Copies of this chain bind each other. A is one copy, B any other.
Amino acid sequence: MRYIPHTEDDVARMLRVVGKPSVASLFDHIPERLRAKRPLDIAPLDEARLLAHLGELGAKSRPAVGVTEREGAALSFLGAGLTSHHVPTAVDMMLMRSEWYTSYTPYQPEVSQGTLTAIFEFQTMVSELYGLGLANASMYDGATAAAEALMMAERLTGKHKSLLSYALHPHYTDTIYTYLRSQHGHEAEGYAPCVSFGKDGRVDQGQLSAALSAGDVGCVVVQSPNFFGVVEDVAAIAKLAHDAGALLVVANAEPLAFGVLQSPGAVGADIAVGEGIGLAIPPSLGGPGVGLFAARPEYVRQLPGRLVGETTDKDGRRGYVLTLATREQHIRREKATSNICTNQGLIALAFTIHMSLLGRRGFTELARINLSLSEHAKSVLTKVPGVSLAFTGATFNEFTLALPRNAFDVVKALAERGIYAGVSSRAAGLYRAETPPSTGGTKLVAPDDRWLTLAVTERHDRSTIDRLAAALTEVLR
């Protein structure tokens, strides 16, 4: 075993020092009733065969992202919570330095300045992108970050009712409900009814103000750009929420949007959460990603998750440490702001490196490229007979088409042509027509099964957009 150094001689000698007759005797104190009754039945593989076995498993999927289509990747327009951007090679090459990936939580700052400094930079970037003065060292993902934000808002306002935009990513909604159920049992959905969206694809402000009018709402959660790609009028929503004594949580699955859009913080969000995977690493079936979490600085004591702060060493040199740990479980135990411990450090690092590479100028330019290509795609695809835009609201790099027939069938037909055309909002695991979330008495627009949401990014160009249009035309014919 190449990872276990012990030779027979080593073991014999160590046992003599330990004073035990055999390796088995080290386990003698485990009571019989608890012992495994038979040896493990898992076959070992040498490295070459191991790689072949995994390679064969891998070959059973057709990736959405690859270097070339000749290597087998499809032409993908998938977004829906994970819009993969081209992450430069320099990022992964850096992640492979073992000082990054084989270290752990920087408990000992004198030998962890690398990780600590990088997290401090990450916090700064998240804070900048979301326009809020405070950001943590990462959450598991966008969905759990949203759930934690809602719970943080509950703590801050002392109110237990929230409102969720129905155009929030269904996974986020589901995760919030899971978390809420653990607090409130099966009545959870009543604690967080949904607010519908209008023909423009945005939160229905009329419904929202009605739902807020009782003054019992602690927090409103909207996503922008939302699940359908539409940019919400965050400023207006913030005003409504604040006027009703509620906090506004803005969720976001595409931080790049804030290269061209006002940051949530700049237009009134109190907490902003998001998902950084698409700007950090390849899609990897959606995980590991990195949950982004930013808030107004005055809320720092209620913030979940780790924080790195600046300090100095004995000689007065600037350095970084984990700080304000009294919010956290290992000090506060049942009084902690969250139970989170291990977070998504390495992906946060990837995000930080990529943001550094893009830089101020590149980030903005990349956002503009996405916007321009997406607008172009809209104009090309809506020329396909029977196809129109589902919503009138402005979008960034993701938008929703209304097709003349069931979008899921179209997606399947296009997949056979090597094109992953996007997501039908009625696909498995998303909106369930049968079990809509709590409406809190208001009427929800059921997502149409002819809606197709797709993302157009710098990975595409005029010709790949034309290919999609041509294939779509063919399939719809």
Contacts and interface: CB of A to CB of B under 8 A. Distances in A.
Q: How many copies does the complex hold?
A: 2
A93 B357 CA distance: 23
Given A93-B96, A357-B2, A459 B59 contact: no
A86 B459 contact: no
A68 interface: yes
B96 A68 contact: no
A47 B86 CA distance: 9
A8 interface: no
Interface string A43-63: 000011001101110010000
Contacts of A458: 48
Interface residues of A, number: 23
Nearest to A85: B48
Contacts of A97: 97
A434 interface: no
Interface string A132-176: 000000000000000000000000000000000000000000000
B52 A59 contact: no
A71 B88 contact: no
Interface string A91-110: 00100110000000000000
B89 A47 contact: yes
A59 B48 contact: no
A37 interface: no
A242 to B, nearest CB: 42
A360 interface: no
Nearest to A96: B96
A67 B47 contact: no
A33 interface: no
Given A2-B357, A96-B96, A97-B97, A59 B68 contact: yes
11 contacts: A2-B357, A47-B86, A47-B89, A48-B86, A48-B458, A48-B459, A52-B67, A52-B68, A55-B66, A56-B70, A97-B97
Sorted from nearest, which 10 A-B pairs have the closest CB atoms?
Answer: A55-B68, A59-B70, A55-B67, A48-B86, A51-B67, A52-B68, A56-B68, A47-B88, A56-B70, A96-B96
